[in-house]
Structures are given as structure tokens and as C-alpha cells.
Structure 1
Amino acid sequence: MTSSFNPKKESILDLQKFLGKEICVKFTGGREVQGILKGYDQLVNITLDQTQEFIRDAEDPLITTDEKRFLGLVVCRGSSVMMVCPTEGCEPIDNPY
């Protein structure tokens, strides 16, 4: 017996307003990249262009250095994405703790 009711699956994040703009993506494991959002799907698989990875400090992997590595076109698997944020319109703040 098949059901004719198939609800449309929507993305948990509305990234439409960031298409063509630069965003920052953090992954499980600590990696962080920045690039131009070219596409996404409902599972938060993300396609970035002109992507750069921020290299972490060898002594303390929680600290990112000023060093960057150019990656180009990247497909980010949604299950490993922890955070997505725009690079424009945001200001870094000090940790309140």
C-alpha cells in the first residue's frame, strides 16, 4: 500500500539569501573553510567556490593561524557541517566567559 502523501523535504537552513556570497563553514574535527556559496540541498551539502582553508596551529589544534590553503571548488558533506555563517555583516566579539 503506497501513500499519496509525500511531504516536501525542506532544508533545515535557509541558505538562499547567501547564494553568490562569501560564507564561512566549520566542520566536525575543527576544520574551517571560507568560500563563495554556489549551491546547497536539504541535507546541507554545500558547494563552495574560491575556497580557502584556514590552517590550524600544530601545537594547539583549536587555534587557527594566519596561514591559508587555496582549495578552489569544494563540495562539503552536510553530515560534517557544524556551523555556517556569512563573512559580511558579522563582527567578532570577545568571549564573555
Structure 2
Amino acid sequence: MSGRKETVLDLAKFVDKGVQVKLTGGRQVTGTLKGYDQLLNLVLDEAVESVRDHDDPLKTTDQTRRLGLIVCRGTAVMLVSPTDGTEEIANPFGQPEAV
């Protein structure tokens, strides 16, 4: 065995592109991926955080907060997705509303 640990994600294709990162605790940040390491620590430039709803912390509001250049610790990263080519769709498993 080589003592080298490979990451599951290949983040090289996302460098200098927009990504959306979900962190433990419910925070959600969007920015340009500038760098990363094998522990999944991420460096994001021009980062913008989606502010969560005060009454329901699981929901985000339309308000944002500019953060600038940030480092996201790999232990807190839950999801990394590209911003290009993604869009929000309606839940196909949701209950239809009564008319």
C-alpha cells in the first residue's frame, strides 16, 4: 500500500469556475474555486453567503452577504456543486396541492 490518500472528488475541473458549497450547520456559500487540498479545504474568491431565514434556519432567504476571499475547512464541507448548468426544480416527490 502506498500511504497516499486519494480524494473521491476531482476538483481540478472546477478550479477558476463558480461552485456552490454547503457546509455543516446549514451555511451555503457560492464563489469561484481558487484552490483545494487533499483534505478538501477549499479556497473561494468573491464568496457570497446565502442568509438563512431567522424563523426557520433550514431555509435560505433571497438576502446575501459578501464574504470575499475565504477558506472552507474540509471537515465542514458537505457538498460541492458547479453553479454553471444547474437549476432548481420542483420536488417530483412532493404532495400535490389540493385545488
TM over 0.5: yes
Correspondent of 2:40 among 22, 40, 44: 44
What is the number of residues matched between the two proteins?
A: 93
1:59 is matched by which residue type in structure 2? D
Query: Which residues of structure 2 form unaligned runs of 5+?
Result: 94-99
Structure 1 position 96 matched with structure 2 position 96? no
Q: Write the letter of the residue equivalent to 1:14.
A: D
Partner of 2:55: 59
Helix, strand or coil at the partner of 2:79: strand
Instruction: Find the aligned partners of 2:61 and 2:18 in 1 and give their Cα distance.
Output: 20
| Identity rate, percent | 57
Secondary structure of the structure 2 residue equivalent to 1:23: strand
RMSD: 1.1
Partner of residue 24, structure 1: 20
- TM-score calculated relative to the size of structure 2: 0.88
TM superposition outliers: structure 1 runs of 4+ over 6 Å:
none
Pairing of 1:70-81 with structure 2 (within 5 A)? 70-81=66-77
Distance 2:91 2:38 in 1: 32
Q: Which runs of 5+ in 1 are unaligned?
A: none
Give distance in 2, aligned partners of 1:34 and 1:21.
11
1:42 offset after TM fit, Å?
A: 1.1
TM-score by length of 1: 0.89
**Counterpart residue number, 1:12:** 8
